[in-house]
């Protein structure tokens, strides 16, 4: 027998993880860029999120176009990323510290806005246009059915969040397939070799952190629009959420290439929020949630170790293994190797360089 | 032509001048366009540091480096990469393990070319060209273009790194004990490949080696370093007549026999 209470539990179980998972999945993509692509533990997300939720609440309250608010938040996030990178490059602060400085700065801005708004950085979604509620109005029409209104509003969250996410996902996928994107991935993974191949590692880390910041800013903006308010505490625990989602995704989806890596961020984010929702049903008191999140991260890290060592022991068979199976140790370089003529090199690579 | 004049380099680990370590003490070296120079010297004699200063990883304290008459002493690494190809001792450094073979080659092929950042990185045309380039190695690498570099053996990686360094035909190739981490059989093959590439592409090359036989066998000129100086240089016919014992003799006269001299 499903009680009314049971029904709403079921409903929130079906819907809430999608809303959180999609909106904060954008943040996970941002953290993925700093943490995985650049190998930097960037904590600034804890400050950038509340800064953008609060700014968004103020902007929406002032009837600024919500999509413009989204762009502004992304631009601010990008600026934070650039500051972060410049601190590391020019002041030689360790990356961790640069991130903490940006976190403190952006958190400070959130507190400032909060004080200026006397703790009332919020808006009524019925009175102001957001990225979500145009769709809800469209779906709900003049209906007064509470269930249908409820459904329409959640559908609008999920649809719009998925739309923004899909757009960002596509942009990221194509961008990181370009020469510039490939250079960024190279610079993060092997700076020494990248420099030896003419890639400016500093420039790459500025660009990557700017993109990371823009993604986090976008997440913060949508989060603020969804919440209808901004609080300085909005960023609390965000780094735990982001890293947990990231690792969880990597456990579920083996990230053999960039596309799979970004897919794993989204999968991780959704699954993470399902786990959180389940925990909230088991213990609805709520005040233990942060503790659960910390413990969950520990569990995820342990699982990650097992999965990593399992994958190392059971590598995927390379394609066309038959022909490719010969390794150098067995291969015979012919007595007179077919000359690697300059013509062949020129064929693919163009002219001899002129200084 | 690369001209190095009176190169000096000291490392300063902290502000205490007593901790300063002078590594290069006045290196003069001219590398002609047809040169394949092998470099030997005991551990710590400054060979790697010399290569790093030439490549721009470290700025020298004194002296100048000029390439084809242009002073490049102050140019950062990534700018010099346009005309300098490098292979490191550690196979893991020369390529990017997480990126595919195709991507690694693409990165190397862009070196020194006009940049077009928003062009798709992997193109069909490049794939075919790279496969043609890999085929002569006889390692079957041309069938594994999409595999991450990390899934290849050390020898395969060094072979690829060599190709990468020689792509975009550099004006100078720097090799730092690039066969040292390989087993003897593989090392021999990679050395032969090196010789083929250097000769076919006519790239001026500076090769550090711990193997005296290789130092004698390959190249047209041999230099020996000790305590930050070039103490011995021999080329042409004279070099061909050199024996390992001659070199060991040189070392013992310095009373600093490197391990590799004993091991052969
Ligand atoms: N980055 C560095 N910082 C401090 N000392 C260094 C650095 N690189 C090299 N050295 C020192 O310089 C000396 C020469 O090193 P190196 O050029 O690597 O010698 P080699 O390659 O001939 O064995 C060594 O004593 C080494 O400890
Ligand atoms: Mg060395």
Query: Which chain B residue shows the shortest CA-CA distance from A195?
Result: B78
Please determine, looking at this structure, whether the domain spanning A4-313 carries the CATH number 1.10.20.
Answer: no
Helix axes B124-134, B101-110, angle to 10 degrees: 100
Give, using CA atoms, the residue closest to atom 26 of ligand 1. Answer: B44
Residue B223 banded pLDDT, cuts 50, 70, 90: very high
Closest ligand, as measured to the CA of B25 = 1
Query: What average pLDDT does the segment B48-77 reach?
Result: 95
Chain B residues in contact with A187 (beta carbon < 8 A) = none
pTM for this entry: 0.88
Give the pLDDT confidence of A188-232 residue by residue, as tens digits.
999 999 999 999 999 999 999 999 999 999 999 999 999 999 999
Angstroms from A329 CA to nearest CA on chain B: 6
Angstroms from B139 CA to nearest CA on chain A: 6
Q: Percent of chain B, pLDDT > 90?
A: 62
Determine the pLDDT at residue A218: 98
Residue to mutate among B89, B96, B144, with most A CBs inside 10 A, is B96
Residue A318 banded pLDDT, cuts 50, 70, 90: low
Q: Do A196 and B120 touch (CB under 8 A)?
A: no
Determine the pLDDT at residue A6: 67
Query: How many angstroms separate the CA atoms of A265 and B225, rounded?
Result: 52
Atom of ligand 1 nearest to the CA of B51: 17
Top-ranked range on mean pLDDT: pick from A33-47, A114-128, B79-93, B126-140: A33-47
Burial label for A63, CB within 10 Å (0-12, 13-18, 19+), is: exposed
Instruction: Inform me whether the C-beta atom of residue B123 falls under 8 Å from chain A C-beta atoms.
Output: no
Domain ranges of chain A: 4-313
Q: Which of A250, A248, A265, A261 is nearest to A299 (CA)?
A: A248
Q: Which of residues 138-177 of B touch A (CB under 8 A)?
A: 138-141, 143-144, 146-148, 151, 153, 155-156, 159, 163-164, 166-171
Determine the pLDDT at residue A317: 67
Give the pLDDT confidence of A138-165 residue by residue, as tens digits.
888 888 888 888 888 888 999 999 999 9
The lowest-confidence range among A20-34, A134-148, A184-198 is A134-148
Residue A338 banded pLDDT, cuts 50, 70, 90: very low
Query: What average pLDDT does the segment A247-254 reach?
Result: 95
Closest ligand, as measured to the CA of B180 = 2
Chain A residues in contact with B143 (beta carbon < 8 A) = 320, 323-324
Closest ligand, as measured to the CA of B53 = 1
Is residue A90 predicted with pLDDT exceeding 70? yes
Q: Do A332 and B138 touch (CB under 8 A)?
A: yes
Mean pLDDT over each residue of chain B, to the nearest integer = 90
At A155, list the tokens.
Answer: 């559908």
Determine the pLDDT at residue A9: 75
Q: Do B95 and A193 touch (CB under 8 A)?
A: yes
Query: How many angstroms separate the CA atoms of A320 and A145, rounded?
Result: 59
* DSSP per residue, A150-180: HHHHHHHHHHHHHHHHHHHHHHHHHHTTBHH
Residue to mutate among B94, B98, B203, with most A CBs inside 10 A, is B98
Count Cβ atoms below 10 Å from residue B260 Cβ, excluding itself.
18
Determine the pLDDT at residue A335: 36
Are the beta carbons of A247 and A308 closer than 8 angstroms? no
Q: Which residue has the tokens 């397939």?
A: A177
Mean pLDDT over each residue of chain A, to the nearest integer = 87
> Which tops the pLDDT comparison, A105 or A355?
A105
CA separation (Å) from A197 to B85, B123, B148, B199? 8, 19, 18, 22
Residue to mutate among A187, A193, A204, A343, with most B CBs inside 10 A, is A193
Q: Which of residues 73-92 of B touch A (CB under 8 A)?
A: 77-79, 81-84, 86, 88
Determine the pLDDT at residue A312: 85
Query: What average pLDDT does the segment B187-213 reach?
Result: 91
């Amino acid at each position: 027998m499903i009680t009314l209470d049971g029904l709403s539990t079921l409903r929130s179980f079906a819907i809430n993880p999608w809303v959180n998972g999609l909106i904060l999945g954008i943040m996970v993509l941002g953290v993925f860029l700093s943490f995985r692509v650049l190998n930097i533990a960037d904590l600034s997300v804890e400050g950038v999120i509340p800064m953008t939720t609060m700014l968004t609440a103020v902007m929406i309250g002032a009837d600024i176009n919500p999509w413009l608010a989204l762009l502004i938040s992304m631009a601010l996030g990008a600026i934070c990323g650039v500051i972060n990178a410049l601190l590391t490059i020019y002041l030689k602060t360790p990356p961790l510290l640069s991130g903490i400085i940006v976190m403190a700065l952006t958190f400070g801005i959130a507190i400032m806005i909060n004080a200026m708004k006397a703790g009332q950085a919020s808006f009524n979604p019925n009175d102001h246009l957001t990225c979500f509620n145009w769709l809800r109005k469209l779906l709900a029409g003049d209906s007064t059915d509470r269930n249908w209104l409820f459904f329409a509003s959640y559908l609008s969250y999920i649809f719009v969040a998925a739309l923004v996410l899909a757009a960002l996902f596509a942009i990221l996928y194509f961008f990181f397939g370009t020469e510039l994107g490939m250079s960024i991935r190279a610079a993060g993974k092997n700076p020494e070799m990248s420099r030896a191949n003419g890639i400016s590692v500093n420039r790459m880390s500025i660009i990557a952190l700017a993109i990371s910041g823009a993604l986090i800013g976008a997440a913060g903006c949508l989060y603020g629009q969804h919440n209808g308010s901004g609080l300085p505490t909005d960023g609390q625990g965000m780094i735990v959420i982001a890293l947990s989602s990231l690792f969880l995704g990597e456990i579920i989806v083996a990230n053999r290439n960039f596309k799979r890596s970004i897919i794993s961020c989204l999968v991780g984010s959704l699954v993470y929020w399902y786990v959180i929702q389940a925990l909230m049903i088991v213990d609805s008191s709520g005040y233990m949630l942060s503790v659960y999140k910390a413990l969950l991260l520990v569990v995820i890290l342990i699982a990650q170790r097992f999965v990593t060592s399992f994958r190392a022991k059971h590598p995927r068979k390379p394609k066309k293994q038959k022909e490719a199976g010969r390794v150098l140790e067995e291969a015979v370089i012919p007595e007179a190797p077919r000359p690697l003529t300059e013509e062949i090199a020129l064929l693919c690579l163009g002219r001899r360089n002129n200084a | 032509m690369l001209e190095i004049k009176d190169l000096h380099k000291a490392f300063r680990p902290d502000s205490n001048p007593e901790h300063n370590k002078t590594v290069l003490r006045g290196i003069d070296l001219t590398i002609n366009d047809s040169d394949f120079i092998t470099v030997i010297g005991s551990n710590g004699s400054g060979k790697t540091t010399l290569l790093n200063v030439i490549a721009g990883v470290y700025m020298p304290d004194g002296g100048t480096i000029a390439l084809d008459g242009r002073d490049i002493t102050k140019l950062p690494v990534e700018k010099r990469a346009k005309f300098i190809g490098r292979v490191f001792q550690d196979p893991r450094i020369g390529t990017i393990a997480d990126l595919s073979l195709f991507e690694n080659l693409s990165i190397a092929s862009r070196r020194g070319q006009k940049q077009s950042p928003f062009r798709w990185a992997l193109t069909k045309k490049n794939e075919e060209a790279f496969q043609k380039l890999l085929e002569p190695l006889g390692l079957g690498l041309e069938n594994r273009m999409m595999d991450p570099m990390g899934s290849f053996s050390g020898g395969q990686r060094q072979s690829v790194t060599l190709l990468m360094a020689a792509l975009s035909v550099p004006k100078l190739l720097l090799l730092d004990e690039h066969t040292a981490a390989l087993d003897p059989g593989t090392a021999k093959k990679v050395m032969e490949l090196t010789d083929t590439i250097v000769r076919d592409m006519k790239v001026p090359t500076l090769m550090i080696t711990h193997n005296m036989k290789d130092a004698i066998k390959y190249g047209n000129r041999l230099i020996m370093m000790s305590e930050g100086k070039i103490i011995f240089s021999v080329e042409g016919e004279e070099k061909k007549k050199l024996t390992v014992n001659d070199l060991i003799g040189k070392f013992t006269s310095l009373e600093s026999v490197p391990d590799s001299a004993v091991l052969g």
